[in-house]
Amino acid sequence: GNSVTQMEGPVTLSEEAFLTINCTYTATGYPSLFWYVQYPGEGLQLLLKATKADDKGSNKGFEATYRKETTSFHLEKGSVQVSDSAVYFCALSSNFGNEKLTFGTGTRLTIIP
Amino acid sequence: DVKVTQSSRYLVKRTGEKVFLECVQDMDHENMFWYRQDPGLGLRLIYFSYDVKMKEKGDIPEGYSVSREKKERFSLILESASTNQTSMYLCASSSRLVYTGELFFGEGSRLTVL
């Protein structure tokens, strides 16, 4: 079956530090890959996505590249801000059209000024 | 602004009570989902629905049922609440006709079963 493995948190960084949150996956076929973010007290929202190998998703300074050879979709940001403090979820969808997502366990990120 | 609204942010119930969690979306989406969020386990799919009156089991349906009588509303039912159902419940919706892979989530309902 499908599965997503994320690096365990919590992760604490200083403002302006470089961020990497690792994500690897197991899936049949050619899944689409996603990063969702959950800010405190809110529901999840889509941060970025990639639908085929070598695609790079980007949004709000975050990037992730779909690497089929390493089955990975690591999230990166060059300079984090306090407002980036949130829980980040990696997810995949292997069925085109029904958007049934399989999520990772989530990584809590805290940025200190 | 697109919106998924969950009826209760916080609920406290007793073991054995019947619990209803309501979710309404205003985007005319075909797909609706109920997930459960637990620390260290991430989000796990309980049930989903592709259309009115249609439902399919997710990964952890035991102890839950759902109802979708209208397109905009998807209800999660705990027939007899137990302490191991204490959790955060998230409702989501998405378009079936226009595939983007994006789910729109509500803010969640935190249920405590005593």
If one compares A94 and B62, the residue with the highest pLDDT of the two is B62
- Answer whether B11's CB lies under 8 Å from B18's CB: no
3-class secondary-structure state, position B85: helix
Nearest residue to B90 via CA among A10, A42, A37, A98: A42
pLDDT tens digits along B78-97: 999 999 999 999 999 998 77
Average pLDDT of the residues in B48-66: 94
Integer CA distances (angstroms), B35 to A45, A64, B90, B92, B112, in order: 14, 25, 5, 8, 16
Please list every residue in chain B whose beta carbon sits closer than 8 Å to the beta carbon of residue A51: 101
CA distance B80 to chain A (A): 26
A18: how many CB neighbours lie within 10 A of its CB? 10
From B19-28, B35-44, B76-85, B97-106, the region with the lowest mean pLDDT: B97-106
Residue ranges for chain A with pLDDT beneath 70: 95-99
Best residue in A35, A55, A100 to probe B by mutation, most B CBs within 10 Å? A100
Is the pLDDT at B16 greater than 70, yes or no?
yes
Please list every residue in chain B whose beta carbon sits closer than 8 Å to the beta carbon of residue A43: 4, 90, 92, 105-108
Buried b (16+ CB within 10 A) or exposed e, B17-53: eebebebbbeeebbbbbbbbbeeeebbbbbbbbeeee
pLDDT band of residue B2 (cuts 50, 70, 90) is low
pLDDT band of residue B11 (cuts 50, 70, 90) is very high
From A25-29, B43-47, B58-62, B70-74, the region with the lowest mean pLDDT: A25-29
The predicted structure's pLDDT at residue A99: 66
The predicted structure's pLDDT at residue B96: 78
Distance in angstroms (rounded) separating the CA atoms of residues B91 and B45: 10
Taking CB atoms and an 8 Å limit, are B43 and A89 in contact across chains?
A: yes
Taking CB atoms and an 8 Å limit, are B107 and A96 in contact across chains?
A: no
At position A32, the amino acid (one-letter code) is: S
3-class secondary-structure state, position A63: strand
Kindly state the helix (H) or strand (E) to which residue B57 belongs, with its residue range: strand B56-57
The predicted structure's pLDDT at residue B104: 92
